[in-house]
Structure 1
Amino acid sequence: MKIAICQTNTLPLKENALMNYFKHFQRDSLVVFSEYAFDLFFTDLQKTSKELIAQLSSQKILLLQKIAKTFKITIVMPLIIAKESKIFKKIAVIDSKKTQFYMQQKLINYPHWNEEIFFDNPKVKTLKTPLIFEKNGFKIAVLFGFELHFDALWLKLKDKDVDIVLIPTASTLNSHERWQMLCRSRAFCNSCLVVRINRVGKVVLEDREFDFYGESLVVNPNAEIEEKLDHKESVAYIEIDKNDLDAQAVEWGFRKRNIKEK
């Protein structure tokens, strides 16, 4: 299976430009994006009317569905979704036949960066199993970046024997070393492939400008970084072999898998 890691700034909501962008991806590939790749950052959304957010929300979904069907790809894209005057933060998984959504369960809530107070995602007392979908024999889960920190979610994914975890992020504040350590430890302890997709660009927080620094990466179950992007807009293609991934996943004995004989 081929995964295209798309490290971008905010993409324009223009059909011709997006069609031209997506036409370069290989048929049947999994195309994944960072948080806020298709939306304004939440500090800018705070200044935007809910009516406009709702209008753009429906346009984005229809356009991505058309793109997935046209190019026969699966798109994993965090989206801001508006419904009945409420605004939600979700991850969409869109292929040529269906669209699935994962509602973020744990939102960042720091004084300088408080998504929890802005979005209308329900507060859950007991965390639920994140969205898991299957493609080319792989079990694939999605998590938002902030949710990487919560053990309860990873236990649920491990219980479901997930092969790959896709983690869109919008990380800044020079946190690259911490994120690298987190991704490596999660991949190793959970015997899975971790794909972290971070955006690029700039953001203003508390009247200071910071960079979204990119550095998207792929970590295998042995905690080895197989692919890492730099600080610029770019796309990386990785090819994952199921038998190879299964062999890595059982190497340390943290969990068992059925490995097909080659």
Structure 2
Amino acid sequence: MNLAIFQLPSLPFKENKLASYLKAIKKGSIVVLGEYVLNLFFHEISDVPKDIINKTTQSKLSELTKLAKKYSLIIVAPVLCGNEKKIYKKIAIIDGKKIDFYTQQKLISYPHWDEEAFFGNSKVKTLKLPYVFEKEGLKIAVLFGFELHFDEIWIKMKNAGVDIVLLCTACTFDSNQRWRDLCKARAFFNSCVVVRANRIGEYTHEGFQWNFYGDSFIALPNGKIEDSLGNKEEVLCAEIEKSQIEEFVKEWKFREVESLVQKI
């Protein structure tokens, strides 16, 4: 299975850069974008009418659907959409024929980064299995970066036999090494591949500059980083085969042990 990580900043409404990148990707690939690429960071649109935010997103989704069909791609892209009253934080899975959505279950609620207060996503008490689809025999799940921290979600993905987790993030500050360590650990304990797509760009909040640093990468089930990008606008292309993942599953038997525990 062919995969492409697009490491980009937030794209202006009429930006045609994405179209030029998609044109160059191998047909049949899955393309993954980071958070707040199709939309501005939520702090930047706090005063924008919600219906305008939604209309902007719908226009971009329409264009991406055409591009996905034209180039035979599956595009996985975080989006902000809803109506005139509420905006929801979701991941769109676009295959050229239809668009499916995964709605984020756990949102950040820190004083300086309070997505939970801004978005209309329901407060979920019991976490569910994220959106999962199959391609070339591989089970692929989509997930938001903050949800990396919640064991319940990862246990459900392990029980479902998820092979690849497409993790869309917008990480900043000095969190680089922590995110690497967490993703490597999740990949190892779940015997899966974690594909982390992180955005780039800068944002100034209350006089302090936030730097979204990139470092998109692919973490393998052996707990190692296979390949990674720097802090610039870049694209990472890779090929992942089910047989490679199956070797790690057989070697460490974590899925087998988890299955026995569930039966007991």
- Normalising by the residue count of structure 2, what TM-score does the alignment of the two structures yield? 0.94
1:50-65 alignment runs, 5 A limit: 50-65=50-65
How far did 1:15 drift? 6.9
User: In 2, Cα distance between the equivalents of 1:11 and 1:251?
Assistant: 43
* Correspondence for 2:6: 6
The residue number in structure 2 matching 1:234 is 234
SS class of match (1:204): strand
Number of corresponding residues: 257
Equivalent residue number for residue 215 of structure 1 = 215
Structure 1 Cα separation of the partners of residues 17 and 191 of structure 2: 39
2:9 and 2:37 in contact (8 A); partners too: yes
Cα distance between partner residues in 1 of 2:11 and 2:183: 26
Change over 3 Å in CA distance of 1:250–1:13 after alignment to 2: farther
What does residue 260 of structure 1 align with? none
Aligned to 1:141: 141
State the shift of 1:26 in Å: 1.0
SS at match of 2:82: strand
Q: Aligned partners of 1:205, 1:106: CA distance in 2, in Å?
A: 23
CA contact (8 A) 2:33 2:197 kept: yes
Mapped partners of 1:116, 1:90: distance in 2: 13
Q: Which residue of 2 aligns with 1:36?
A: 36
Report the Cα offset of residue 210 of structure 1. Answer: 1.7
CA contact (8 A) 1:57 1:82 kept: no
- Aligned counterpart, 1:68: 68
The alignment partner of 1:162 has SS state of coil
Q: How far apart in 1 are the matches of 2:104 and 2:23?
A: 29
Q: Which residue of 1 aligns with 2:119?
A: 119
Identity of aligned residues (%): 50
1:164 aligned partner, one-letter code: I
**Unpaired segments of 5 or more residues in structure 2?**
258-264
Residues in 2 aligned to 1:41 and 1:16: alpha-carbon distance in whole angstroms: 20
Alpha-carbon displacement from aligned partner over 1:216-255 (angstroms, at most 9, x marks no partner): 1111100011011111110010111111121122211212
Please say if 1:205 is aligned against 2:211: no
What's the CA shift for 1:62? Answer: 0.9
Pick closer, same or farther for the CA change 1:218–1:81 going to 2, 3 Å: same
Judge which range, 222-231 or 79-88, deviates more: 79-88
Look up the SS of the partner of 1:232 in the other structure: coil
Q: Is residue 2:164 matched to residue 1:164? A: yes
Q: 3-state DSSP class of the match of 1:116? A: helix
Contact 2:165 2:195 in 1 (8 A): yes
- The ranges of structure 1 where at least 4 consecutive aligned residues each deviate by more than 3 angstroms after the TM superposition are 15-18
Residue 80 (1) aligns with residue 80 (2): yes
* C-alpha contact (below 8 Å) 2:196/2:217 kept by paired residues: yes
How far residue 84 of structure 1 moved from its aligned partner, in angstroms, is: 4.8
What residue in structure 1 maps to residue 262 of structure 2?
none
SS in 1 for 2:255: coil
Question: What is the CA–CA distance in structure 2 between the aligned matches of 1:200 and 1:159, rounded to whole Å?
Answer: 33
Report deviation, 1:55: 1.5
| Residues 127-147 of structure 1, C-alpha deviations (whole Å, 9 max, x = no match) | 111000111111000110000
C-alpha deviation, 1:57, in angstroms: 2.1
Q: 1:38 corresponds to which letter in structure 2?
A: L
Q: Secondary structure at the match of 2:155?
A: helix
In structure 2, the residue matched to 1:185 is 185
Partner-residue secondary structure (3-state), 2:140: strand
Distance 2:188 2:18 in 1: 36
**What CA RMSD, in Å, does the superposition of the two structures yield over aligned residues?**
1.4
Structure 2 residue 109 is the aligned partner of structure 1 residue 101: no
Residue pair 2:159, 2:255 contacting (<8 A) in 1 also: no
Instruction: Confirm or deny: 8 A CA contact 2:142 2:167 kept in the other structure.
Output: yes
